[in-house]
Amino acid sequence: MKLAVIPARGGSKRIPRKNIKMFCGKPMIAWSIEAALQSGCFDKVIVSTDDEEIAEVARQYGASVPFMRPAGLSDDYTGTIPVIRQAIEWCNANGFDAQQVCCLYATAPFISPEDLRRGLGILEQTGCQYAFSATSYAFPIQRAIRLTGTGHVEMFNAEHFNTRSQDLEESYHDAGQFYWGLASAWLQERMIFSPDSSVVLLPRHRVQDIDTPEDWIRAEWLYKAFQAELTPQ
């Protein structure tokens, strides 16, 4: 069975209730649910939450909420992998034999059904443990700087001060949208960022973390710009 798990706890601090806050006309979590359903990849799409209101919104948009997440997996310090592991264990104990499992974040309005299908294809064709969304850094990380305790500047890699940007190796980061994985990898809590993983590369303009109110505003601007591009003039 191919399983989608959308983690969505109720205790967001920086953007209160962000998982169900209205984003461009829909509760934020609805974008991830609808992308999962439209992809055709999944036998079951579930939301893992500790919050009854989030659970009700999730059901309204077509997801299943077959259990409420335990309190021990709902605090500010719980990582993603234990949450997905608990969902797989619940499914396996209740007659659903999960084999390929995708974690979709609830705050990823730019996630697309096609990218989810690409991720599944990579997982099936490469023999990797995981396949996740990633994008390139906009600026060479080898030329990053830090501010010292005295307010002065120093480079992380001073040897690259005179290196041309085009001569530096391109680097990438997690796009924070979805993570396909073998059920066995999730259950063993294997590290996602490892040589056993591959990526679905996304363009930078479709990647936006939403952790602060400023992030939220930027994401809405981006979404509205995309919609304007698609609307016939």
- What are the residue boundaries of the structural domains of the chain, listed by start? 2-135+172-230
Classify burial at 136, counting beta carbons within 10 Å of its beta carbon; exposed 0-12, middle 13-18, buried 19 or more.
Answer: middle
CATH number for 2-135+172-230 (one of 2.60.120.280, 2.60.40.10, 3.90.550.10, 3.50.50.60): it is: 3.90.550.10
Q: How far apart are CA 195 and CA 188, in angstroms?
A: 16
Mean pLDDT of 139-155: 95
Reference 85, options 140, 3, 9; nearest CA is 3
- pLDDT > 70 in the chain, percent: 98
Whole-model pTM over 0.85:
yes
> What is the pLDDT confidence band of residue 232, given thresholds at 50, 70 and 90?
low
CB 183 within 8 A of CB 98: yes
CB 85 within 8 A of CB 55: no
Give the pLDDT confidence of 44-66 residue by residue, as tens digits.
999 999 999 999 999 999 999 99
CB 134 within 8 A of CB 202: yes
Q: How far apart are CA 100 and CA 35, in angstroms?
A: 17
Query: At how many degrees (to 10) do helices 52-60 and 28-39 cross?
Result: 40
